[in-house]
Amino acid sequence: MATNKFLTASQSSPTELTPLLSELRQLISEARSRALRAVDVIQVQTCWQVGRHIVEFEQNGATRAAYGRRLLPILAEQLTAEFGRGFDASNLRNMRSFYQAFPNCDALRHELSWTHYRLLSRVQSEEARIWYMNEAAAQNWSSRALERQIGTLFYERLLLSQDKAAVANEARQNLAALESTPRAFVRDPVMLEFLGLPGAGKLLE
């Protein structure tokens, strides 16, 4: 009886396929990372532009007076119906705050996501806000890491401390305690909301 020269999937040797699988995993992971980064940049630019349009509209005295505080709810109702919950009143308010905190679009760091900028927009001090932005980009902080650094007043303590090395070391230890896992494109609710994809907001970042 002739021997079947073709192996089924269950009969394939894992050892023989290891190099190929490794290359394919790297290829797919890198492609997803580039796709995520590209959408990040577009999302940040779009949110900044939305915020700019809202602020400029509000600065038109007579028109602003006609709508007052009803402006964002009215816009949100229309935009949410067309583009999903990523453009509800709360997010529109965040976009407006984003533009007000960073009026110069050219100064933005494209390494950061919209989630980073939502956190940065809440920092009252302009000097601290810019420092956190640049440091987050330079150190490749996740949004969770940035939130931790802002919450522990890392910049402010570093500025006042005479032992800056100790403060920096403490900050590194705090970040080391955070789980370090890459963002998954299909699991990022902020990205899903922006793209208007099903399941937005149901999965954890």
Domain boundaries, the chain: 28-195
Q: Which amino acid is at 6?
A: F
Residue by residue, DSSP assigns 18-44 as HHHHHHHHHHHHHHHHHHHHHHHHHHH
To the question of pTM greater than 0.95 for the whole model, the response is: no
Give the Cα separation of 126 and 118 in Å (integer): 14
The pLDDT value given to residue 64: 72
> Quick one: 24 exposed, middle or buried, by C-beta within 10 A (0-12, 13-18, 19+)?
exposed
Tell me the pLDDT of the chain averaged across its residues.
Answer: 82
| Average pLDDT of the residues in 63-83 | 87
Maximum mean pLDDT: which of 96-105, 148-157, 175-184: 96-105
Rounded CA separation 164/141 (Å): 19
Identify the band that residue 7 occupies on the pLDDT scale cut at 50, 70 and 90: low
pLDDT-based confidence at residue 203 (cuts at 50, 70, 90) = very low
